A and B are shown apart, each in its own frame.
Chain A
């Protein structure tokens, strides 16, 4: 299981820039950033190399941060790759709250991040189906 930071942001100019600058100043390297927005506010989800450092830096800069555990899965970069993974998740009746992916530079696979309601069951099912569930070190480390 992997730690993801979620930051609650009001929609106002410069807020996202301020967030990323705070991380940059703390020497945090982001692996993935995903913004989910509604009309008035957004939540920004971040996977980075040092989640605890990042959390401290953001809270110090006045942001509201929550830490969520998510599942990171290596998905083959071919048609139907993601569908295979989702079918396994569906087979154990788990709901996907949200998902996003990022591609490893130079690799043949993508990393997909899933937030599910029953992470333990889903992880076991994925492993049983021969799908590689990634550990923290593999996700946080820079792919280059």
Chain B
């Protein structure tokens, strides 16, 4: 553990720390951010809670609040005190801007150092940071954490995959940080270059910024010969470092000295009991630049009840299974693309690359899952391919409770991503087939 005195704090102490920080945050936000003052005033709520349960009575913050305040309207300090800005990746619309004070950057570095330490990282590690550097929080976020831990940071950023492999080999990378889909591409590229990742010193990966499954984890771990952990974050709340799996790989410890996590029913917006799925909501306790109160992330997860073997007392959220806004409703059934990935990763002969293609057939929505045939499949016989397709279709049907058309496509024909993979292609507004 990077900061054991905090990460394994006695629960009661942590609760009182949270309450004290929460009230300080509410006061600060109310005094300095017009959006919050208006929200609290119009809800008739005071910016104060008597206990942590009181948080559930406060108004939510949503992405549109940040968009409306573009670029700096929700900053709680003058620009003079902001030392850096980042922005959201804009995957779901207009970008939003977040600002960090010097203190924010330092706390973020601590949290990312904890995250790398969660993967077993120490000052002896060489961390290859293949997240994009720039407005995206991934690259610089991980970078400061690696430096804070005392490890050696390789700020290679994303892209140029052959060079990633060469650097990994030549510089003796021991920890890789990137999106899980990019880790797969790096592994495939290494094999094509005749470099077996198992022969390299690489031993761990911290992967995040997109949903992935346990099956995909197993594939990456086998392909690269590493331990892979899931890390979680979002720019509106911090960037990478909000929560991280430990080596137990059973849920992501939320940095609860800096954040309060709530899980709410996305319809009623009421908190759900621990263990039940819902939308993840975060409140930032220590952020100075752009604090958020009950920020609705749109990510779907749940709290994993109970204590973790690793000794950290921070509660764990389950890996994010999807987003309320990528959720597809197919013939009345809620489907997340990550569930499809989970199925595919368990079937030999198909690659973990897929796309869900939505189109119109007449007035009906038509959903087709495009799946790459793995390079190892002896596809000479049609029956081999048909058996494979039928197996994919039947496993999807039994896991998702809805049957989807499955189309086998040529190996390597689905576009590879160096960042977040594009899993859903919506052609419904581009004329009929």
Contacts and interface: CB of A to CB of B under 8 A. Distances in A.
Given A10-B413, A40-B408, A64 B382 contact: no
Residue from the set A10, A41, A98 with the largest chain B CB neighbour count within 10 Å: A41
Contacts of B250: none
Contacts of A38: 382, 385-386
Nearest to A62: B412
Given A8-B410, A8-B411, A10-B413, A43 B375 contact: no
Interface string A30-60: 0000001010110101000000000000000
Interface in B379-433: 379-383, 385-386, 407-413
A41 B386 CA distance: 10
Interface in B200-254: none
B412 A43 contact: no
A33 to B, nearest CB: 14
A66 interface: yes
A121 B428 CA distance: 54
Nearest to A64: B411
Given A8-B410, A9-B410, A64-B375, A41 B381 contact: no
Interface residues of B, number: 18
Contacts of A97: 381, 383
A142 interface: no
Given A8-B373, A10-B413, A64-B373, A41 B408 contact: yes
- Identify whether the interface residues of A are mostly helix, strand, loop, or mixed: strand
Interface residues of A, number: 19
A40 B382 contact: no
A98 B381 contact: yes
- Identify whether the interface residues of B are mostly helix, strand, loop, or mixed: loop
Given A8-B373, A64-B373, A64-B375, A43 B413 contact: no
B310 interface: no
B79 interface: no
B52 interface: no
B347 interface: no
Given A8-B373, A9-B410, A36 B378 contact: no
Nearest to A45: B380
Given A38-B386, A43-B385, A66 B407 contact: no
28 contacts: A8-B373, A8-B385, A8-B410, A9-B410, A10-B409, A10-B410, A10-B413, A36-B382, A38-B385, A38-B386, A40-B407, A40-B408, A41-B409, A43-B379, A43-B380, A43-B382, A43-B385, A62-B412, A64-B373, A64-B375, A64-B410, A64-B411, A64-B412, A66-B380, A97-B381, A97-B383, A98-B381, A115-B380
Given A8-B410, A64-B411, 19 more contacts: A8-B373, A8-B385, A8-B411, A10-B409, A38-B382, A40-B407, A41-B407, A41-B409, A43-B380, A43-B382, A43-B385, A45-B380, A63-B410, A66-B379, A68-B378, A68-B380, A97-B381, A97-B383, A115-B381
